[in-house]
Amino acid sequence: MRFKPLGKTGLDLSVIGFGGAPLGNEFGGIDVADAERAVHLAIEKGLNFFDTSPYYGRTLSETRMGEALQGKRNQVVLSSKCGRYDFDAFDFSAARVKTSVEESLQRLRTDHLDLLIAHDIEFGDREQIINETVPAMRDLQRAGKIRAVGISGLPLKILADVAVRAKVDFVLSYCRYNPLIQDMDVYLTPVLQQHNIGLLNAAPVHLRLLTREGALAKHPAPEFVKQAGAAIVQACLRHGADPAIVALQYCLRHSYAASTCVGMSNGREVEQNLKALDTQIAPDLLAEIERIAEPVKTTTWPSGRPENQDA
Protein backbone atom coordinates (compact mmCIF):
# COMPACT_ATOMS: atom_id res chain seq x y z
CA MET A 1 0.00 0.00 0.00
CA ARG A 2 1.10 3.54 -0.70
CA PHE A 3 0.33 6.50 1.56
CA LYS A 4 0.12 10.24 0.90
CA PRO A 5 -0.27 13.25 3.19
CA LEU A 6 -3.63 15.00 3.42
CA GLY A 7 -2.63 18.63 3.13
CA LYS A 8 -1.31 19.96 6.43
CA THR A 9 -3.49 17.74 8.64
CA GLY A 10 -0.52 15.58 9.66
CA LEU A 11 -2.45 12.49 8.50
CA ASP A 12 -1.09 10.07 5.91
CA LEU A 13 -3.82 8.17 4.07
CA SER A 14 -3.77 4.97 2.04
CA VAL A 15 -4.11 6.00 -1.61
CA ILE A 16 -7.17 3.74 -1.82
CA GLY A 17 -9.91 4.63 0.64
CA PHE A 18 -12.74 2.37 1.78
CA GLY A 19 -16.02 4.02 0.83
CA GLY A 20 -18.81 3.14 3.23
CA ALA A 21 -21.87 4.01 1.13
CA PRO A 22 -22.47 0.36 0.12
CA LEU A 23 -22.59 -0.58 3.81
CA GLY A 24 -25.78 1.45 3.94
CA ASN A 25 -27.36 -0.48 1.04
CA GLU A 26 -27.02 2.58 -1.17
CA PHE A 27 -26.48 0.38 -4.24
CA GLY A 28 -28.63 -2.57 -3.19
CA GLY A 29 -28.68 -5.15 -0.41
CA ILE A 30 -25.45 -6.67 0.89
CA ASP A 31 -24.37 -9.60 3.02
CA VAL A 32 -23.52 -7.96 6.35
CA ALA A 33 -21.03 -10.66 7.34
CA ASP A 34 -19.26 -10.28 3.99
CA ALA A 35 -19.12 -6.53 4.50
CA GLU A 36 -17.53 -6.92 7.93
CA ARG A 37 -14.96 -9.31 6.49
CA ALA A 38 -14.27 -6.76 3.74
CA VAL A 39 -13.45 -4.10 6.35
CA HIS A 40 -11.10 -6.50 8.14
CA LEU A 41 -9.45 -7.62 4.88
CA ALA A 42 -8.95 -4.02 3.79
CA ILE A 43 -7.16 -3.25 7.05
CA GLU A 44 -5.01 -6.37 6.68
CA LYS A 45 -4.07 -5.25 3.16
CA GLY A 46 -2.98 -1.83 4.35
CA LEU A 47 -5.96 0.44 3.79
CA ASN A 48 -6.25 2.93 6.62
CA PHE A 49 -8.79 5.47 5.29
CA PHE A 50 -12.42 4.57 5.97
CA ASP A 51 -15.23 6.96 5.09
CA THR A 52 -18.92 6.89 5.99
CA SER A 53 -21.82 9.27 6.67
CA PRO A 54 -25.10 9.37 8.59
CA TYR A 55 -26.72 9.91 5.18
CA TYR A 56 -25.59 6.53 3.81
CA GLY A 57 -28.45 4.19 4.52
CA ARG A 58 -29.85 6.82 6.90
CA THR A 59 -27.37 5.87 9.66
CA LEU A 60 -27.08 2.19 8.61
CA SER A 61 -23.59 2.59 7.14
CA GLU A 62 -22.22 4.19 10.30
CA THR A 63 -23.75 1.47 12.45
CA ARG A 64 -22.26 -1.32 10.36
CA MET A 65 -18.90 0.44 10.09
CA GLY A 66 -18.77 0.84 13.86
CA GLU A 67 -19.49 -2.84 14.38
CA ALA A 68 -16.84 -3.88 11.86
CA LEU A 69 -14.18 -1.63 13.38
CA GLN A 70 -14.53 -2.95 16.92
CA GLY A 71 -11.03 -3.69 18.18
CA LYS A 72 -9.49 -2.10 15.07
CA ARG A 73 -10.37 1.56 15.48
CA ASN A 74 -6.79 2.59 16.22
CA GLN A 75 -5.63 1.13 12.90
CA VAL A 76 -7.67 3.47 10.73
CA VAL A 77 -8.25 7.10 9.81
CA LEU A 78 -12.01 7.32 10.29
CA SER A 79 -14.10 9.87 8.44
CA SER A 80 -17.77 10.75 8.72
CA LYS A 81 -20.00 13.65 7.80
CA CYS A 82 -22.63 16.09 8.99
CA GLY A 83 -25.26 18.30 7.39
CA ARG A 84 -27.03 15.80 5.13
CA TYR A 85 -29.38 13.23 6.64
CA ASP A 86 -31.80 12.16 3.88
CA PHE A 87 -32.48 12.78 0.20
CA ASP A 88 -33.82 16.24 0.90
CA ALA A 89 -33.01 16.67 4.61
CA PHE A 90 -30.20 19.13 5.29
CA ASP A 91 -29.25 21.02 8.44
CA PHE A 92 -25.95 22.86 8.60
CA SER A 93 -26.69 24.74 11.83
CA ALA A 94 -24.09 24.74 14.58
CA ALA A 95 -26.41 22.97 16.99
CA ARG A 96 -27.16 20.16 14.55
CA VAL A 97 -23.49 19.74 13.64
CA LYS A 98 -22.66 19.13 17.27
CA THR A 99 -25.53 16.73 18.00
CA SER A 100 -24.85 14.94 14.72
CA VAL A 101 -21.27 14.23 15.68
CA GLU A 102 -22.29 12.89 19.08
CA GLU A 103 -24.75 10.54 17.36
CA SER A 104 -22.10 9.44 14.85
CA LEU A 105 -19.62 8.71 17.62
CA GLN A 106 -22.15 6.44 19.31
CA ARG A 107 -22.92 4.55 16.11
CA LEU A 108 -19.24 4.26 15.22
CA ARG A 109 -18.35 3.20 18.77
CA THR A 110 -15.51 5.65 19.12
CA ASP A 111 -14.68 8.79 21.09
CA HIS A 112 -13.45 10.83 18.12
CA LEU A 113 -13.47 11.16 14.34
CA ASP A 114 -10.26 11.75 12.47
CA LEU A 115 -12.05 13.60 9.68
CA LEU A 116 -15.39 15.41 9.79
CA ILE A 117 -16.91 16.58 6.50
CA ALA A 118 -19.78 19.00 5.93
CA HIS A 119 -21.70 16.83 3.47
CA ASP A 120 -22.81 18.20 0.07
CA ILE A 121 -22.54 21.86 1.00
CA GLU A 122 -24.13 22.98 -2.28
CA PHE A 123 -27.50 22.19 -0.67
CA GLY A 124 -26.86 24.72 2.08
CA ASP A 125 -26.45 28.48 2.36
CA ARG A 126 -22.86 29.33 1.49
CA GLU A 127 -22.49 32.02 4.14
CA GLN A 128 -23.93 29.75 6.82
CA ILE A 129 -21.38 27.07 5.91
CA ILE A 130 -18.56 29.58 6.26
CA ASN A 131 -19.77 31.49 9.31
CA GLU A 132 -21.61 28.84 11.31
CA THR A 133 -21.01 25.27 10.14
CA VAL A 134 -17.22 25.31 9.90
CA PRO A 135 -16.80 27.27 13.17
CA ALA A 136 -18.96 24.64 14.91
CA MET A 137 -16.72 21.94 13.47
CA ARG A 138 -13.69 23.84 14.81
CA ASP A 139 -15.31 23.88 18.25
CA LEU A 140 -15.54 20.09 18.06
CA GLN A 141 -11.90 19.95 16.99
CA ARG A 142 -10.83 22.00 19.99
CA ALA A 143 -12.88 19.68 22.21
CA GLY A 144 -10.97 16.66 20.88
CA LYS A 145 -14.00 15.17 19.10
CA ILE A 146 -12.46 15.47 15.62
CA ARG A 147 -8.98 15.95 14.21
CA ALA A 148 -9.56 17.74 10.88
CA VAL A 149 -12.34 19.74 9.21
CA GLY A 150 -13.47 19.31 5.62
CA ILE A 151 -16.24 19.92 3.11
CA SER A 152 -17.68 17.90 0.23
CA GLY A 153 -19.94 18.39 -2.75
CA LEU A 154 -20.39 18.01 -6.50
CA PRO A 155 -20.07 21.59 -7.84
CA LEU A 156 -16.44 22.65 -7.78
CA LYS A 157 -16.48 26.42 -7.59
CA ILE A 158 -18.34 26.54 -4.27
CA LEU A 159 -15.89 24.00 -2.86
CA ALA A 160 -12.93 26.17 -3.88
CA ASP A 161 -14.53 29.35 -2.54
CA VAL A 162 -15.62 27.92 0.80
CA ALA A 163 -12.36 26.03 1.28
CA VAL A 164 -10.35 29.23 1.08
CA ARG A 165 -12.74 31.59 2.86
CA ALA A 166 -13.49 29.18 5.72
CA LYS A 167 -9.90 27.89 5.85
CA VAL A 168 -10.86 24.21 5.97
CA ASP A 169 -8.25 21.48 6.23
CA PHE A 170 -9.34 19.42 3.21
CA VAL A 171 -11.98 18.95 0.52
CA LEU A 172 -13.65 15.78 -0.76
CA SER A 173 -14.70 15.96 -4.41
CA TYR A 174 -16.61 13.21 -6.18
CA CYS A 175 -17.40 12.40 -9.81
CA ARG A 176 -15.14 15.21 -11.04
CA TYR A 177 -11.91 13.29 -11.69
CA ASN A 178 -11.93 9.88 -13.37
CA PRO A 179 -11.53 8.59 -16.94
CA LEU A 180 -14.83 10.21 -17.92
CA ILE A 181 -14.48 13.67 -16.37
CA GLN A 182 -11.47 15.67 -15.22
CA ASP A 183 -12.57 19.23 -14.48
CA MET A 184 -11.57 18.93 -10.81
CA ASP A 185 -8.12 19.94 -11.98
CA VAL A 186 -9.50 23.03 -13.72
CA TYR A 187 -11.50 24.61 -10.92
CA LEU A 188 -10.48 23.01 -7.61
CA THR A 189 -7.08 21.34 -7.44
CA PRO A 190 -4.96 24.45 -8.24
CA VAL A 191 -6.75 26.47 -5.53
CA LEU A 192 -6.23 23.78 -2.91
CA GLN A 193 -2.57 23.36 -3.84
CA GLN A 194 -1.98 27.09 -3.56
CA HIS A 195 -3.35 27.10 0.01
CA ASN A 196 -2.00 23.68 1.06
CA ILE A 197 -5.52 22.38 1.61
CA GLY A 198 -5.84 18.60 1.37
CA LEU A 199 -7.77 16.86 -1.40
CA LEU A 200 -9.73 13.62 -1.43
CA ASN A 201 -11.15 12.17 -4.65
CA ALA A 202 -14.18 9.88 -4.67
CA ALA A 203 -16.36 7.87 -7.06
CA PRO A 204 -13.69 6.72 -9.53
CA VAL A 205 -16.26 4.60 -11.39
CA HIS A 206 -18.63 7.59 -11.66
CA LEU A 207 -21.40 6.07 -9.55
CA ARG A 208 -20.95 2.67 -11.23
CA LEU A 209 -21.10 4.06 -14.76
CA LEU A 210 -17.57 2.76 -15.45
CA THR A 211 -18.23 -0.85 -14.49
CA ARG A 212 -19.17 -4.03 -16.32
CA GLU A 213 -22.61 -3.89 -14.71
CA GLY A 214 -23.23 -0.30 -15.72
CA ALA A 215 -25.01 2.48 -13.89
CA LEU A 216 -28.23 2.15 -11.95
CA ALA A 217 -31.33 3.48 -13.69
CA LYS A 218 -31.43 6.48 -11.35
CA HIS A 219 -27.95 7.70 -12.38
CA PRO A 220 -28.21 11.51 -12.73
CA ALA A 221 -25.80 11.99 -15.66
CA PRO A 222 -27.18 13.10 -19.04
CA GLU A 223 -27.82 10.28 -21.49
CA PHE A 224 -24.91 11.20 -23.79
CA VAL A 225 -22.54 11.00 -20.81
CA LYS A 226 -23.90 7.56 -19.95
CA GLN A 227 -23.28 6.52 -23.56
CA ALA A 228 -19.68 7.74 -23.36
CA GLY A 229 -19.23 5.81 -20.12
CA ALA A 230 -20.57 2.66 -21.76
CA ALA A 231 -18.18 3.19 -24.67
CA ILE A 232 -15.23 3.43 -22.24
CA VAL A 233 -16.35 0.21 -20.58
CA GLN A 234 -16.47 -1.55 -23.95
CA ALA A 235 -13.04 -0.20 -24.88
CA CYS A 236 -11.60 -1.62 -21.66
CA LEU A 237 -13.20 -5.00 -22.27
CA ARG A 238 -11.84 -5.12 -25.83
CA HIS A 239 -8.37 -4.61 -24.36
CA GLY A 240 -8.95 -7.37 -21.80
CA ALA A 241 -9.05 -4.89 -18.92
CA ASP A 242 -11.55 -4.54 -16.08
CA PRO A 243 -13.07 -1.06 -16.47
CA ALA A 244 -13.45 -0.55 -12.72
CA ILE A 245 -9.77 -1.30 -12.14
CA VAL A 246 -8.80 0.97 -15.03
CA ALA A 247 -10.91 3.78 -13.58
CA LEU A 248 -9.36 3.45 -10.12
CA GLN A 249 -5.84 3.20 -11.53
CA TYR A 250 -6.49 6.34 -13.56
CA CYS A 251 -7.42 8.17 -10.36
CA LEU A 252 -4.44 6.83 -8.42
CA ARG A 253 -2.16 8.65 -10.83
CA HIS A 254 -3.37 12.02 -9.54
CA SER A 255 -0.40 13.87 -8.12
CA TYR A 256 -2.17 15.83 -5.36
CA ALA A 257 -5.18 13.83 -4.13
CA ALA A 258 -4.20 11.99 -0.95
CA SER A 259 -6.66 9.15 -1.50
CA THR A 260 -9.30 7.93 -3.90
CA CYS A 261 -12.35 6.66 -2.07
CA VAL A 262 -14.19 3.73 -3.66
CA GLY A 263 -17.22 1.88 -2.32
CA MET A 264 -16.68 -1.70 -1.13
CA SER A 265 -18.91 -4.27 0.53
CA ASN A 266 -17.18 -7.66 0.17
CA GLY A 267 -13.75 -9.22 0.02
CA ARG A 268 -13.83 -9.71 -3.73
CA GLU A 269 -14.23 -5.97 -4.25
CA VAL A 270 -11.35 -5.27 -1.87
CA GLU A 271 -9.07 -7.65 -3.77
CA GLN A 272 -10.17 -6.22 -7.13
CA ASN A 273 -9.48 -2.66 -6.05
CA LEU A 274 -6.04 -3.60 -4.78
CA LYS A 275 -5.14 -4.73 -8.29
CA ALA A 276 -5.23 -1.10 -9.36
CA LEU A 277 -2.05 -0.48 -7.36
CA ASP A 278 -0.02 -2.62 -9.74
CA THR A 279 -1.98 -2.10 -12.96
CA GLN A 280 -0.79 0.11 -15.78
CA ILE A 281 -3.20 1.37 -18.42
CA ALA A 282 -1.96 0.41 -21.88
CA PRO A 283 -1.08 3.56 -23.87
CA ASP A 284 -3.41 2.66 -26.75
CA LEU A 285 -6.29 2.04 -24.33
CA LEU A 286 -5.60 5.33 -22.55
CA ALA A 287 -5.63 7.15 -25.88
CA GLU A 288 -8.97 5.57 -26.79
CA ILE A 289 -10.45 6.49 -23.40
CA GLU A 290 -9.32 10.09 -23.77
CA ARG A 291 -10.81 10.26 -27.27
CA ILE A 292 -14.18 8.98 -26.02
CA ALA A 293 -14.17 11.27 -22.99
CA GLU A 294 -13.12 14.45 -24.79
CA PRO A 295 -16.68 15.66 -25.66
CA VAL A 296 -18.04 15.04 -22.15
CA LYS A 297 -15.11 15.55 -19.79
CA THR A 298 -16.56 18.73 -18.27
CA THR A 299 -20.21 17.61 -18.28
CA THR A 300 -21.96 16.87 -15.02
CA TRP A 301 -25.46 17.41 -13.59
CA PRO A 302 -27.16 19.99 -11.35
CA SER A 303 -26.77 19.46 -7.61
CA GLY A 304 -27.90 21.74 -4.83
CA ARG A 305 -29.18 25.31 -4.82
CA PRO A 306 -29.16 27.24 -8.11
CA GLU A 307 -26.78 29.86 -6.74
CA ASN A 308 -24.23 27.16 -5.90
CA GLN A 309 -23.93 25.67 -9.39
CA ASP A 310 -20.71 25.94 -11.38
CA ALA A 311 -22.34 27.65 -14.37
pLDDT surpasses 90 at 218: no
pLDDT surpasses 90 at 248: yes
Count of beta carbons in the 10 Å neighbourhood of residue 301? 11
Query: 223 in a domain, yes or no?
Result: no
pLDDT of residue 33: 97
Catalytic residue numbers? 56
Query: 63 in a domain, yes or no?
Result: yes
Mean pLDDT on 147-163:
98
3-state SS, the chain, equals CCEEECCCCCCEEECEEEECHHHHCECECCCHHHHHHHHHHHHHCCCCEEECCCCCCCCHHHHHHHHHCCCCHHHCEEEEEECEEECCEECCCHHHHHHHHHHHHHHHCCCCEEEEEECCHHHCCHHHHHHHHHHHHHHHHHCCCEEEEEEEECCHHHHHHHHHHHCCCEEEEECCCCCCCCCHHHHCHHHHHHHCCEEEEECCCCCCCCCCCCCCCCCCCCHHHHHHHHHHHHHHHHCCCCHHHHHHHHHHCCCCCCEEEEECCCHHHHHHHHHHHHCCCCHHHHHHHHHHHCCCCCCCCCCCCHHHCCC
> Over the stretch 88-117, which tens digit does the pLDDT of each residue have?
999 999 999 999 999 999 999 999 999 999
Distance between CA 146 and CA 137 in Å, rounded? 8
Confidence of residue 215 (pLDDT cuts 50, 70, 90): confident
**Mean pLDDT (the chain, rounded):** 97
CATH number at 45 reads 3.20.20.100
Query: 118 in a domain, yes or no?
Result: yes
Query: 30 in a domain, yes or no?
Result: yes
Query: 301 in a domain, yes or no?
Result: no
Please calculate the CA angle 141-142-144 and round it to the nearest 5 degrees.
Answer: 65
Q: Are strands 89-90 and 49-51 parallel, antiparallel or unpaired?
A: unpaired
> Over the stretch 226-247, which tens digit does the pLDDT of each residue have?
999 999 999 999 999 999 999 9
pLDDT surpasses 90 at 20: yes
Query: 231 in a domain, yes or no?
Result: no
Q: Structure pTM? A: 0.97
pLDDT surpasses 90 at 217: no
Query: 292 in a domain, yes or no?
Result: no
Range of the domain at 80: 3-207+244-280
Query: 225 in a domain, yes or no?
Result: no
pLDDT surpasses 90 at 279: no
Mean pLDDT on 40-47:
98
Higher-confidence position of 293 and 214:
293
pLDDT of residue 105: 98
Distance between CA 88 and CA 24 in Å, rounded? 17
Total domains in the chain come to 1
